[in-house]
Each structure stands twice: as structure tokens, then as C-alpha cells.
């Protein structure tokens, strides 16, 4: 290999490295711009949610009505939760889950449906938190009533299981 070929190889490597650095710098700039846009959009959403909170609360009251299960649906989707886990936590058959979720999904956007492969997950929108969903008396009463029913239903199952355990010995 001649000296000129060696220098040519170094130059190509240097140019390649400069191009890589330029691409990374550009990507970093784009990422920062996207982060600013995301932050601005989030702030605008918060302002709109807070200024429209009476309307949002009224719409939630229409959707939930006196349904403890619908109130619990919003309560349980505070964090992302799988469809099967949500149905189990609500104490309903998974085949009936859509009936309780449908009014919150779609254009209303109170609960987001998240698909990961073949699995579905659900998480409520931040605007539900911004209007203070869990602190509104009507909803808090429904959630508390639902929780008490869940505890009552769990106790007989536990006593049956403990009886079965004692029968084994």
C-alpha cells in the first residue's frame, strides 16, 4: 500500500466520521425541537382542560351516571392496565369490558386504548386528573361503594379457600 492510498483511506474515514457527527447533531436538534413542541402542546392542553373543567365534569357525569363500574373504570385506568387485568379488577367478564369502556374512548379521549402487539391496554387521559375526578363527591362516593362491594365479594371467596385448606389436613 502506497502512502497516497493510506492518506486517501484516512481522509475517507475522517469524512465518514464528520458526516456521522453531523447526522447525530441534526438528530439531536430535531429531538430538542420535538421536546419543546411536546411541552408547548402539553401546556396548551392543560390550559384548555382547566378552563373547560365544568364542561368536562358534566360530560363525565353523563357518561358515568350512577354506574359504580364506570366510575371504577376511570379510577383503575390511572396507570396503564391490560384489558384482562382491568376486567378482573372490575369484577366483570372480559366480554363485557367494551360496554363499560366505549363511552370513554374515541373522540372523547377520556381513556386511551394502547395496542402492544396483540394485547390491549388502557390509560385515562391527564384531563381526568386535571378536573379532579377522584375528589368530586359524586364520583368518590361511587368509587368507595364499588370498593366496598369488591371487598365483600372477596371475603366469601377467601373463607371458602380457607375452609378447603383446612379440609385438606
Residues 52-101 pLDDT 10s: 889 999 999 999 999 999 999 999 999 999 999 999 999 999 999 999 99
Considering the domain architecture, whether residues 63 and 134 belong to the same structural domain is answered as yes
Residue 42's pLDDT band (cuts 50, 70, 90): confident
The arithmetic mean of pLDDT across residues 18-36, rounded, is 87
CATH of the domain at 124: 1.10.10.10
What per-residue confidence (pLDDT) applies to 160?
Answer: 47
What phi-psi label fits residue 124: left (phi over 0), alpha (psi between -120 and 50 degrees) or beta? beta
If one compares 165 and 25, the residue with the highest pLDDT of the two is: 25
User: Domain ends where: 36, 51, 66?
Assistant: 51
pLDDT at 165 over 80: no
Considering the domain architecture, whether residues 78 and 152 belong to the same structural domain is answered as yes
Domain region containing 35: 1-51
Distance (Å, whole) CA 72 – CA 7: 71
Considering the domain architecture, whether residues 11 and 92 belong to the same structural domain is answered as no
3-state SS class at 29: helix
Considering the domain architecture, whether residues 43 and 101 belong to the same structural domain is answered as no
Residue 39's pLDDT band (cuts 50, 70, 90): confident
Considering the domain architecture, whether residues 27 and 63 belong to the same structural domain is answered as no
Considering the domain architecture, whether residues 40 and 69 belong to the same structural domain is answered as no
User: Against a cut of 0.85, is the pTM above it?
Assistant: no
Considering the domain architecture, whether residues 71 and 12 belong to the same structural domain is answered as no
Within a domain: 38: yes
Distance (Å, whole) CA 102 – CA 115: 16
Considering the domain architecture, whether residues 33 and 59 belong to the same structural domain is answered as no
Considering the domain architecture, whether residues 62 and 37 belong to the same structural domain is answered as no
What per-residue confidence (pLDDT) applies to 123?
Answer: 95
Within a domain: 10: yes
Indicate the number of domains in the chain.
2
Considering the domain architecture, whether residues 78 and 47 belong to the same structural domain is answered as no
Considering the domain architecture, whether residues 74 and 97 belong to the same structural domain is answered as yes
What per-residue confidence (pLDDT) applies to 18?
Answer: 79
Burial of 150 (0-12, 13-18, 19+ CB in 10 A): middle
Residues 121-163 pLDDT 10s: 999 988 898 889 999 999 999 999 999 988 888 766 555 444 4
What per-residue confidence (pLDDT) applies to 4?
Answer: 66
Amino acid at each position: 500500500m502506497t502512502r497516497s492510498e493510506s492518506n486517501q483511506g484516512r481522509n475517507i474515514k475522517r469524512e465518514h466520521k464528520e458526516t456521522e457527527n453531523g447526522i447525530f447533531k441534526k438528530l439531536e436538534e430535531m429531538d430538542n425541537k420535538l421536546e419543546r413542541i411536546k411541552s408547548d402542546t402539553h401546556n396548551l392542553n392543560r390550559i384548555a382542560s382547566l378552563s373547560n373543567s365544568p364542561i368536562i365534569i358534566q360530560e363525565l357525569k353523563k357518561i358515568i351516571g350512577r354506574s359504580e363500574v364506570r366510575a371504577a373504570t376511570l379510577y383503575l385506568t390511572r396507570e396503564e392496565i391490560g384489558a384482562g387485568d382491568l376486567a378482573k379488577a372490575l369484577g366483570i367478564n372480559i366480554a363485557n369490558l367494551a360496554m363499560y369502556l366505549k363511552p370513554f374512548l374515541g373522540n372523547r379521549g377520556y381513556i386511551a386504548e394502547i395496542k402492544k402487539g396483540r394485547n390491549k391496554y388502557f390509560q385515562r387521559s391527564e384531563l381526568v386528573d386535571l378536573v379532579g375526578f377522584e375528589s368530586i363527591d359524586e364520583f368518590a362516593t361511587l368509587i368507595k361503594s364499588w370498593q366496598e362491594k369488591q371487598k365483600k365479594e372477596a371475603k366469601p371467596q377467601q373463607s371458602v379457600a380457607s375452609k378447603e385448606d383446612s379440609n385438606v389436613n
